[in-house]
Structure 1
Amino acid sequence: MAPTFLELHRPGEPLLLPNPWDVGSATMLATMGFRALATTSSGFAATLGRPDMSVTRDEALAHAAAVVSATDLPVSADLENGFADDPDGVAATVRAAVEVGLAGCSVEDATGRPNDPIYEPALAAERVAAAVEAAAGRLVVTARSENFLHERPDLGDTIERLQRYQQAGAHVLYAPGVVERGQLRSLLGAVDRPVNVLALPQAPPVPELAELGVARVSVGGAFAFAAYGGLVAAARELREQGTYGFWAAAGEGRRVAGQAFADG
């Protein structure tokens, strides 16, 4: 499955990679024409009533296994920082990811510690190298530079990190938060691996990302929280207005869910 997943990463023809947050959303998205799926750490954590970065490795892998079982599409998993600081711990996580049938996984260089948010570059690269070695060609490893999500909008450092991760063997590179056209041109011109872009509100539309040479576009937790946004709007309408306009959206969701679950 990993070679099939990697083949879908074509600069100029971005793979649209939606992020389901449970088996139901995975099943629905798999019937809507997407060619691969990826888990979302924040979206999954929300299903447990928790904030992002609060899920354990075992919980994340069990969730990934459930999503894999829901579809024949390649599935990549958001494994946060590999649930370990040291390279050996990251490698153990990746080996476990292989066993659940994933086609890919991502490894961040964020520590999860507010007072020390990003790993030192050499250690971060060692962690990526350990992930790639543990994957042994059985997973597509996406290496993530998290600077822009942690109030460190240093494009130069971000690019240098991605270059290190490329040298460490990463198959796909990702700097969530880098969405400005000029910055994307600089980043894409500095590496020779497929690059993923997070579909933030200020990001260029997909056709423009394609022209820039982006190979993959993912949504992170956006679909999950869009669904929760619909829940909030429906609940407020019922509680504050006493009306049922939410059935317009609910009806379409019910229709697609019914088709997807019947096909499954």
Structure 2
Amino acid sequence: MSRIEALRALHRRRSPGDPLVLPGPWDAASARVFVEAGFPALATPSAGVAASLGHEDGQTPADEMFAAVARIVRAVDVPVSADIEGGYGIAPKELVERLLETGAVGCNLEDSEGGVLKEPRRHAEWLAEVRHAAADRLFVNARIDTFVRARQDADPKRTAEQAIERAALYVAAGADCVYPIGAPVNVLPLLRSGIQGPVNVHGTVTGGPSPAELGELGATRVTFGPGLHRTATQALRGIAADLTT
């Protein structure tokens, strides 16, 4: 079975309480740690990779991001999905080819730019171009930013409805999975009931619902963004502090 076939198979027939858990490596060493722990696939976080390269989140040059993803893919023998943010302004065909050159078999693509949500139909058209260029070679995870871009006083239910509307457009455009990042736990059942296909939910490393609990609420898969990198960095700070005493 090829890596893309393996990644697709991992998303199928997930039972409640048993979501696909995808840790986020930021370099080759962390990727090997996760695979040695038994995880069947990985999903890189753009913020974690950015930090490992000395950049702020969202400021990593495309060439550096693709090179970092390639190093992670070479280090492991499991499928890797790459967070390539908003696509770096690269045309869909070139974007797909550059990603495939890294060896990644999946991608995370977000629907906001500069802190502003993109027009959903236009973004869906762009996703359709990505899907056409990728054919069946990539598993496309379409991130939905309605929650992270919502006003603080926004009604979570209304924001969830907006996410469901976007999800329908993105799935119709060919997205394999949608990712309503930042969705409060209490709206996950609503999202699950309104979205066709796999749903990616953001998990927490310490505290908060477990991956199994998120699965019970509707998550098909759970990722952690830069959470694992930040937790590892905090642990390293503690070690460093101990060395100075």
- Normalising by structure 1, we get a TM-score of 0.83
Given candidates 153, 168, 188, the residue that maps to 1:163 is: 168
Max radius of gyration: which structure? 1
Say if 2:188 and 2:218, in contact at 8 Å, map to a contact too: no
CA distance in 1, matches of 2:243, 2:55: 26
| 1:142 and 2:162 correspond | no
Please state whether the residue corresponding to 2:91 is helix, strand or coil.
Answer: helix
**CA deviation vs aligned residue, 1:127-168 (integer Å, no higher than 9, x gap):** 211121111100100001012223456222111111110111
Give RMSD over aligned pairs. Answer: 1.7
Structure 2: 5+ residue runs without aligned partners?
none
Look up the match of 2:131: 132
1:1-264 matches, within 5 Å, as 1-9=3-11, 10-12=14-16, 13-84=18-89, 89-111=91-113, 113-114=114-115, 117-152=116-151, 154-181=159-186, 183-200=187-204, 203-239=208-244, 242=245
Structure 1: 5+ residue runs without aligned partners?
243-264
- Aligned AA for 2:136? G
- Normalising by structure 2, we get a TM-score of 0.89
Look up the match of 1:252: none
CA distance in 2, matches of 1:59, 1:147: 28
- Aligned AA for 1:94? V
The alpha-carbon deviation at position 169 of structure 1 amounts to: 0.9
**CA deviation vs aligned residue, 1:61-115 (integer Å, no higher than 9, x gap):** 111111110011000000100112xxx723421221122221211111011x14x
The alpha-carbon deviation at position 235 of structure 1 amounts to: 2.6
- Aligned AA for 1:185? P
CA distance in 2, matches of 1:167, 1:55: 30
CA distance in 2, matches of 1:233, 1:151: 35
Please state whether the residue corresponding to 2:197 is helix, strand or coil.
Answer: coil
Say if 1:83 and 1:90, in contact at 8 Å, map to a contact too: no
Say if 1:14 and 1:215, in contact at 8 Å, map to a contact too: yes
Please state whether the residue corresponding to 1:143 is helix, strand or coil.
Answer: strand
Say if 1:11 and 1:194, in contact at 8 Å, map to a contact too: no
- Structure 1 stretches (4+) deviating beyond 4 angstroms? none
The alpha-carbon deviation at position 202 of structure 1 amounts to: 6.9
Please state whether the residue corresponding to 2:235 is helix, strand or coil.
Answer: helix
CA distance in 1, matches of 2:208, 2:142: 20
CA distance in 1, matches of 2:223, 2:110: 15
The alpha-carbon deviation at position 203 of structure 1 amounts to: 4.7
CA distance in 2, matches of 1:98, 1:234: 38
CA distance in 1, matches of 2:231, 2:47: 13
The percent of aligned pairs where both chains have the same amino acid is: 38
Say if 1:128 and 1:169, in contact at 8 Å, map to a contact too: yes
Say if 1:129 and 1:168, in contact at 8 Å, map to a contact too: yes
**CA deviation vs aligned residue, 1:17-46 (integer Å, no higher than 9, x gap):** 000100100111111010101111111111
